[in-house]
Structure formats: structure tokens, C-alpha cells
Amino acid sequence: MIKSRLLDRFLRYVQVDTTARDDAAGYPSSPGQLELGRMLVAELRGMGIADAAQDEHGIVLATIPSTLDRPAPTIAFCSHLDTSPETPGANVRPQVVENYAGGDLALPADPRRVIRVADCPELAGLVGRTLITGDGTTLLGADDKAGVAVIMEAADRLAADGQRAHGAVRICFTCDEEIGRGVDHIDIQRLGAAACYTLDGQGAGIIDVETFSADLAIVTIRGRNIHPSIAKGKMVNAVRAAGDFLARLPRDRLAPEVTEGREGFLHPYELAGGVAETRLKILLRDFSTPALAGHAEVLRRAAAETARAVPGVEFDIQVKVQYRNLGEGLAKEPRAVRCAERALEKLGLQAELAIVRGGTDGSRLTEMGLPTPNLSTGQHTPHSPLEWACLEEMEQSVEWIMAIAETWAETLDPAGGQPAP
């Protein structure tokens, strides 16, 4: 019954198109995020969580009151409503595979799309479980609607069980995380938590304790356009200069295709423009924040070499800070990770501390002063038509965050009182 309720939540949420739009000026960037947020507010209020509300930015906040007669730290759980723009997210048709028999999974709408055990070896350990996939034409949206469903199910159970000991629990659903704007309108003082947990990780029982530090480089290349019939000695083609520039970037290192673990990279992912002006967007990623300056210097050297090779071309390189390694901030509040580990031990399981080659809302929240490790939610292969989720891993995450709330209730509030909601 309870597991089927969790599945029902997830299936309903993924069918709302919440694709983030990088080219949109408003916040949130797509109307579906507001629609899903309104659904969640109605459901939270239906659980008896009276202060559930969606603010003018689409962010959903709610509070499950403390069941204690003494002060205890307030904690928060956070997931994002949007899905990645890298793969279509409209008209998601989730497929439920009950009692998974093992082997590869062909997706029904596109026989070329196959979830292969060779690519997802964790499938070998999930025989007999319930898996959810898309139909092959869209992403599934488990990133991060698995996290949303997990938090909503845990909230329902906590709100209904007044005997379970826990302090105040804040719930937060953000928008536009996938395009780097997830916490642009979060007021951590208003959130009022001693620690927060993003539910945005893959697999089960994993605590992400480090993320990349991230910058975005915008490389503008300016040439000189003229009609090609009279272009000799006059035209400076910014498109050709962009090709020359990209060819000078390392390919045997500092590229996502050839790096793993703690290795950083440069990732050109968008090119637009024409002869007169071409613009490139390049991700700079590393677990060491100081190393990002070195990656930017690689771009500047390549630009200088291209400028010498293509007379008349001009480069402008702007580097914008995106987020920083959350490990830098977690060290200031060790209880955040320690309580998550102890909570999983109460369930008879051992947590895996991991690094994630990406970022979360928690990266920025931690940088803002709110320690926010990331927890797994049963999602796999995000941002892809081959995305899938495991219901039993999602259920484990529900039990986990309920146990985290209980574990924090055993922790004395050092301020002698509970942070204001």
C-alpha cells in the first residue's frame, strides 16, 4: 500500500512537463514548474501541513512541526522541480517493470533505445525489484522527481505519525536547478535550518560529500563580414576562427570524454553565431577551486594562438562563477554528514561517502552558509532517454530521511533554542 502510494506519486509527477528553459528570462523558466508546485502545495495541505505555500518565484516551502517538548535543530530536505533541457521532457510515458527478471531493457517507443546491463552494471543487483523507465522518446524525469516523491512520501508519513520524535522539518522545492538558478531566490534565514539535505543523487545509500567547483566561460569571437564575392583579403570568418580555437583545446586530457574521478575538464557545449561574431559556452570544472583559474588560462592561451593564426580576429573571454565544491563548507558543520550516516546505520545499512562529478542546489546552499550534503534517491542515468529509477531504492530513501529527522532530534541545539521557521 505505502510502496504503491510512492509509485503513484512518482508517476504523476513525471508526467508534468517541467523542462527548464535556458533561453527564458523569467523565473521559473517554464510554466510546468509552477503547475507541479501547485500540485505539491495542495497535497502538503491535504496532509495537514498548514503553512505549505508557493512563493512568487515558484519555490514551495512547508514545515512539519516538531513533536518534541524541548528545543532541537531544524533541518530541511530539498529537491528541484525542473528537468534537464538536454533531452525532451514533454509527454513522458513512464513504463513500470515489476519483478525485473534481469538482462537488458528495450524501450517500447524506440527499439534503438536499450538500457544495457553492460552500461548499468548495478542492474545485476536489482533482479526482482520494480523499475521505472521512459518509453525511449523522452527522459524519465527521475532527476529530480524521484527526490520530490521521496520527500513528499516522507512528509506524509511524518505528518501522520505524531509519536515519532523529530524536530521541525522544513521542506523546500526549488526551480531551474538544471540551468544553474535553483537557489537564486532562496533565503536561508527564512528557511531557518541548521542543515539541509538535497535529495538529488543516484543509486541508494550514497552521501555526496563533494561536488565540482564550477565556472562558465563565455568566449565571444569577433570577425569581419563582407559579401563572399569580394571577400578576398577583407573577410575575417569568426566561425572558422572558432574551429581553430576548439582544435587547440586539449583532447587527451581536460575533456569529459577522457577524465574520471577527481580529474577536472573543459567542456565546450554550445556554439552559436556567424561570420561576424560567434559565441561559445564552455564549462570549467574541477574539485579544486584554485585549479579553475588554470583551466581559464588554457582558454586564453588557445585564443592568443588563434588570434596569431587568423589575423584580424578578436577574442573576449568572460568567466562567471557558478558554484563551489560543497565539501569546502561541509567541514564547518560535521553533524550534517554524521547524522545521515548514523540514520542509515539505524536501518542496518552502511552509507557510502562519494564525490559527484557535477553540482547540486546543495553546492550553492553550502557556499551560502547552509551545509547541504546530497543523498541518493534511486535515480539512474539522468538527462537521458535511457534514464530509469528503482522503486525499492526510492523507498529506502524515504525511510532514510525519516531516520535522519529522528537522529537530529537526538542532537542538542547549541544555540539553546530552535531556529525560527
**Active-site positions?**
82, 177
Distance (Å) of CA 243 to CA 55, 64, 265, 266, 310:
45, 55, 19, 16, 11
Distance (Å) of CA 99 to CA 113, 135, 141, 153, 392:
21, 18, 22, 22, 11
The grid cell for 43 is: 497535497
Give CA–CA dist 179/216, Å, rounded.
12
Give CA–CA dist 304/300, Å, rounded.
6
Residue at grid coordinates 511524518 = 158
The grid cell for 355 is: 564525490
Give CA–CA dist 360/372, Å, rounded.
9
Parallel, antiparallel, or unpaired for β 206-211 and 352-356?
Answer: parallel
Q: Which residues, in sequence order, are CB contacts of 253 under 8 Å at separation 6+?
A: 259, 263
372 touches 188 (CB < 8 A):
no
Phi and psi, residue 156, nearest 5°: -60, -45
Whether the upstream peptide bond of residue 184 has omega within 30° of 0, thus cis, is no
